[in-house]
Chains A and B, each alone.
Chain A
Amino acid sequence: DVKVTQSSRYLVKRTGEKVFLECVQDMDHENMFWYRQDPGLGLRLIYFSYDVKMKEKGDIPEGYSVSREKKERFSLILESASTNQTSMYLCASQQASYEQYFGPGTRLTVT
């Protein structure tokens, strides 16, 4: 079974802190994604990556950056956390255009 893990289920950070959200997949998938989910807004794509060291902006990249140094790991970085980044963050991996496999999510609260 494909397994996608995220470093934390719950995280509380202060405004202005640098925040790292880590995602690891164990199935050698090429594609990895970061989404945020907010009530009434569905899944919104922040960044995605089709290969190591490659990254593409999604629909809402402002305030975020990503890093993919190894194929299995895709990190989301909040350079200076703000309260409007309080959200549920979901990571997903995918092989080619097959179905995406999602991690359990990280609920981030920025105070």
Chain B
Amino acid sequence: ILNVEQSPQSLHVQEGDSTNFTCSFPSSNFYALHWYRWETAKSPEALFVMTLNGDEKKKGRISATLNTKEGYSYLYIKGSQPEDSATYLCAFIKTSYDKVIFGPGTSLSVIP
């Protein structure tokens, strides 16, 4: 059974703080890793699709890095804002024929 883990489970930060969370996945085979943002009462929306070791992606204040050899990805948020409050999910794909495996998510609350 493939296990995708995320840490921490939840996080509370002050507005303006920078923060980061981790997604861990099996490093033996790798095809792709996705990051999603899931706001309350909405559907998950994709942030990044990462496929190559060493990939770095950025969208505004949010960025992500990928290390496929050691099996982890980091998501960084610079200068957190209340609208960043959401659950952040990572999703691992082992091969092009495998289903997506979601991690349990990191719940971020940004306090004004």
Q: Which A positions have Cβ atoms within 8 angstroms of B?
A: 33, 41-43, 45, 48, 56, 58, 90, 94, 96-105
Contact = CB atoms under 8 A, between A and B. Distances in A.
A48 B91 CA distance: 15
25 contacts: A33-B100, A41-B104, A42-B89, A42-B102, A42-B104, A43-B89, A45-B99, A45-B100, A48-B99, A58-B99, A90-B44, A94-B100, A97-B31, A97-B96, A98-B49, A99-B36, A99-B49, A100-B34, A100-B44, A100-B46, A100-B100, A101-B46, A102-B44, A102-B45, A105-B43
Given A100-B36, A100-B91, 6 more contacts: A43-B102, A98-B49, A99-B36, A101-B46, A102-B44, A104-B42
A99 B46 contact: yes
Judged by DSSP, the binding face of A is strand
Which among B31, B42, B45, B99 has the greatest number of chain A C-beta atoms within 10 A? Answer: B99
Interface residues of B, number: 20
A100 B42 CA distance: 15
Contacts, number: 44
B57 to A, nearest CB: 12
User: What 4 A-B pairs come out closest when comparing CB atoms?
Assistant: A99-B46, A102-B43, A42-B104, A43-B102
A108 to B, nearest CB: 16
Contacts of A102: 43-45
Contacts of A104: 42-43
